[in-house]
Amino acid sequence: AQSVTQLDSHVSVSEGTPVLLRCNYSSSYSPSLFWYVQHPNKGLQLLLKYTSAATLVKGINGFEAEFKKSETSFHLTKPSAHMSDAAEYFCVVRSYSGGGADGLTFGKGTHLIIQP
């Protein structure tokens, strides 16, 4: 079975400083990995996705993530945080369980706080 573990439930950074949100995955085969963001009372928005192409994936709003197979990690980074980045971030793995079933398995989320 595929799973993801988000290592921090809360991360607080100052505006203009780098952001690092950590995620480890577990998968018996080459995974499809995603980062989604959820702003308060809003739907889930895809930030970026890894699907076995380039290991460094660039997403929207300046975010990027690096797939490291040796470390089973898929950490999300941004060079400079903005106040609008404050939200809940989910690391997600796609689970393939036969018969066409391919639902997403979400981590528990990391709440990103931006200090002015």
Instruction: Please say which residue, 75 or 107, places its beta carbon nearer to other proteins.
Output: 107
| Positions in the binding site for other proteins (CB under 8 A) | 32, 36, 42-46, 49, 51, 90, 92, 97, 99-109
Q: What is the dihedral of CA 91, 77, 32, 95, to 10 degrees?
A: -10
Structural tokens at position 57: 């994936």
CB of 102 to other proteins, least distance (A): 7
Q: Which of 28/70 has CB closer to other proteins?
A: 28
* Residue 97, helix vs strand vs coil: coil
Question: 52 or 84, CB closer to other proteins?
Answer: 52
Cα→Cα distances 37→29, 99, 101, Å: 25, 29, 24
Where would I find the H helices in the chain? none
- Nearest distance from C-beta of residue 16 to other proteins, angstroms: 29
The least distance separating other proteins from the CB of residue 91, rounded to whole angstroms, comes to 9
